[in-house]
Amino acid sequence: METVRIDSGDVTAIAFTGRLDAGTAAQAEEAVRAFLRQSDRGKLIIDLSGLDYISSAGLRVLIVAGKGVLQRGGRLALCGVRGNVREVLTVTGLGMLFDIAENRDQALGRLGPRASGAPGNPCGR
């Protein structure tokens, strides 16, 4: 599995690609926890478009992200959910709990306007 993180303005996107299973979940969880440590009221997109497989170990990482962001008053959206990942999210009911967008652009829209002072806010308020 590969983890790629992109910080852009007040939004962080973390993309997991490959297999998010019992062998790779610790690496993914560390990426999520690193984001949670740094951000208060932060906005996070988890991009799963390159993810081929997820097991309960991977679901646990998504739950850690969901709870952590909620506790910090932030926002979380998932995107690129497909195949086995979609099936597993659906049968566990987790698909209903997350804000799931088609792609990153749509996810950005779901997370709302940029925070005041952040690049892209012309009024700076």
Partner 1 sequence: MRKIASVALPPALDNLPRFIACVSQAARGQGLGERVGQVELAVEEAVTNICKYGGAPGAAEVEIVCLAGPAVLVVEISDRGRPFDMTVWPAPDVKADVAQRPIGGLGVFLIKKVTDAVEYRREGGRNVLRLTFRNRFPAI
Q: What does residue 73 show for φ and ψ, rounded to 5 degrees? A: 70, 20
Give the number of residues in contact with partner 1, rule: CB under 8 A. Answer: 24
- Rounded to the nearest 10 degrees, how much is the dihedral formed by the CA atoms of 102, 55, 70, 68? -130
Specify the 3-state DSSP secondary structure of 52: strand
Instruction: State the nearest-atom distance from the C-beta of 125 to partner 1, in Å.
Output: 31
Residue 10 to residue 59: CA distance in whole angstroms: 25
What x-and-dash track marks residues 75-104 binding partner 1 by CB under 8 A? --------xx--xx--xxxx--xx------
Specify the 3-state DSSP secondary structure of 107: helix
Give the interface segment with partner 1, choosing from 7-15, 36-44, 66-74, 104-112 (CB under 8 A): 66-74
Interface residue list for partner 1 (CB under 8 A): 21-23, 53, 55-57, 59-60, 63-64, 66-67, 70, 83-84, 87-88, 91-94, 97-98
